Structure 1
Amino acid sequence: MVILDSELRNLLPNLKLIIIRYEGCTVSHSPLPFRGRFRLFLEHLRIEHDLEKIGKLQPIREWREAFRRLGSSPSRYRPSAEALLRRVLKGETVHEVNSAVDVNNFFSLKYLLPFGIYDADALEGDVTATVGKAGDGYPALNGRDVSMENKLLLRDESGPFGSPYVDSSRTAVTEKTSRCLQVIFHLDTIEGEDPERIADTVASSFTQINGGRAKSEVIS
């Protein structure tokens, strides 16, 4: 069960969490056709966007404002989709991790929304979306110990593990993962496809590549 707590609802009343649960997945190296599609898409992004102007893109602009409302500087702590797009536009490598994480990154860039994907078997009990307090933090996927104070975070009974900033190593998806929890951080002020359609599109592509079954819901 995923819950939005009252403090976060008050600070970000437009927040929606698109939740997709996957069962029976087979995570491996991304298949060659998908890798080719992803690389072409990265080249398209480099042609379409100017690094100096991405702050004007509505999803990035809205998520920067959300970070400010929570008390974090979006220039110091960038929303994950913006950080990924900046990496692409600088010509830096977007590392291929595995077939689950790569699909996650592809759609994060497509919609310019923060996406998280977690090993469901590494989670304990219910998941709560809340605002980080002093002392909240974790070893992150970027190899650093990060503070989650004044940031939107996901917490289970073992502590914080996910965020639209950077996720923890504790719940990382690997080739041993068969059950995933995917969280897409959406704001209903962002124009474009509605959350239910995003969920359907992402889940369909994910299961085509990784197999398994998907079930989605939108929490607001």
Structure 2
Amino acid sequence: MYFQHAPQVWAAHPGLVAGLLYAEGVDGKPRADLPLADLHAAARERLAAGTEASFPEIQAWRRAFARMGLAPTKYRCASESLLRRLRTEDALPEVHPLVDLGNAISAAYAVPVGILDVTRIGDGIEVRPARGDERYLTFGGAEEHPDPGEVIFADPRGRAHARRWTNRQSGWSSVRDDTATILVVVEAMHDSASEDVPRLLAALAGELRRGWGVSSRWALLTPAAPRFEF
């Protein structure tokens, strides 16, 4: 199995820093408390100094969305949506321990974090422009077709596991109660992304080890080494 970005994605977004983490044995409840409150507090501390729109991590994704022809205030990257919700509602929803951890880390670092159930992604994922005939499944169970040229997470079966890149994840490979093996996708474009993405991945690996007692394998992708195999 694999995860990779198409060459045209690297060419259009040369500042991209992508990190992948693979972990097995993360089913069931964590055996230790997750630091959700601390991560939320870290995000709130940043928000106290200015809205999420002022964060360099969010500004970089807004510029990327604009390059893709998407209105940045209509379509937000996942981390911006989480921070906006935390700022306006002072809380994030509780969904599943893995999802809650990913959301909390995403908010604390202001970087999109996607968690995919490996058993449901087929042979692999390529981040590429859509043809328009791929199938995307909403969390509500409805099928959509991405717009031609829209950046998606595509598998060989023509399913889109994310729309508008980091805007919306798909129901095809979302975390469920029986999820045991995960692939975590972390993507950033701000100036310090090459330092922040490894820090985020190391923090996540540490919490998975503490919470579920598992070891993780993670790596950074580059145009010269664009493929992560697992």
TM bucket, shorter chain: 0.7 to 0.9
Cα RMSD, aligned residues only? 2.5
Q: 1:111 aligns to what? A: 109
Partner amino acid for 2:221?
Answer: I
1:27 to 1:11, Cα distance in 2 relative to 1, 3 A: farther
Q: Which consecutive residues of structure 1, in runs of 5 or more, have no partner in the other structure?
A: none
Q: 1:55-92 CA deviation, whole Å, 9 max, x = no partner?
A: 22100100000111122111111111111111111126
Q: 1:58 aligns to what? A: 56
Cα contact 2:39–2:105 (8 A) shared by 1? no
Q: 2:75 aligns to what? A: 77
d(CA) in 2 for partners of 1:152 and 1:216?
A: 23
Q: 2:13 aligns to what? A: 12
Counterparts of 1:168-207 in structure 2 under 5 Å? 168-187=170-189, 189-190=191-192, 193-207=195-209
1:147 to 1:93, Cα distance in 2 relative to 1, 3 A: farther
Q: 1:1-56 CA deviation, whole Å, 9 max, x = no partner?
A: 11111111111111122100011112437965635435545654553444xxx322
Q: 1:96-138 CA deviation, whole Å, 9 max, x = no partner?
A: 1111101100110111011100100111012111123434452
Instruction: Kindly report structure 1 stretches of 4+ aligned residues shifted beyond 6 Å.
Output: none
1:213 to 1:190, Cα distance in 2 relative to 1, 3 A: same
When the two structures are superposed, what TM-score results if normalisation uses the length of structure 2? 0.82
When the two structures are superposed, what TM-score results if normalisation uses the length of structure 1? 0.86
1:33 to 1:202, Cα distance in 2 relative to 1, 3 A: closer
Partner amino acid for 1:157?
Answer: P
Partner amino acid for 1:153?
Answer: I
Cα contact 2:34–2:101 (8 A) shared by 1? no
d(CA) in 1 for partners of 2:42 and 2:192?
A: 22
Matching residue within 214, 225, 229 for 1:212? 214
Secondary structure of 2:17 counterpart: strand
Cα contact 1:103–1:206 (8 A) shared by 2? no
Partner amino acid for 2:10?
Answer: R
Secondary structure of 2:168 counterpart: coil
Cα contact 2:79–2:110 (8 A) shared by 1? yes
Residue range with higher mean Cα deviation, 126-135 or 21-30: 21-30
- Structure 1 residue 156: deviation in Å? 1.3
Q: Matched residues, percent identical?
A: 20
Matching residue within 120, 127, 130 for 1:129? 127
Q: 2:225 aligns to what? A: none
d(CA) in 2 for partners of 1:204 and 1:33?
A: 11
Q: 1:183-205 CA deviation, whole Å, 9 max, x = no partner?
A: 00122534583433332122111
d(CA) in 2 for partners of 1:42 and 1:194?
A: 15
Counterparts of 1:16-95 in structure 2 under 5 Å? 16-28=17-29, 34-38=35-39, 40-41=41-42, 43-44=44-45, 47-50=48-51, 54-91=52-89, 93-95=91-93
Secondary structure of 1:177 counterpart: coil
- Structure 1 residue 145: deviation in Å? 5.4
d(CA) in 1 for partners of 2:36 and 2:201?
A: 21
d(CA) in 2 for partners of 1:59 and 1:39?
A: 17
d(CA) in 2 for partners of 1:187 and 1:175?
A: 32
Cα contact 2:62–2:72 (8 A) shared by 1? yes
Cα contact 2:23–2:215 (8 A) shared by 1? yes
Secondary structure of 2:139 counterpart: coil
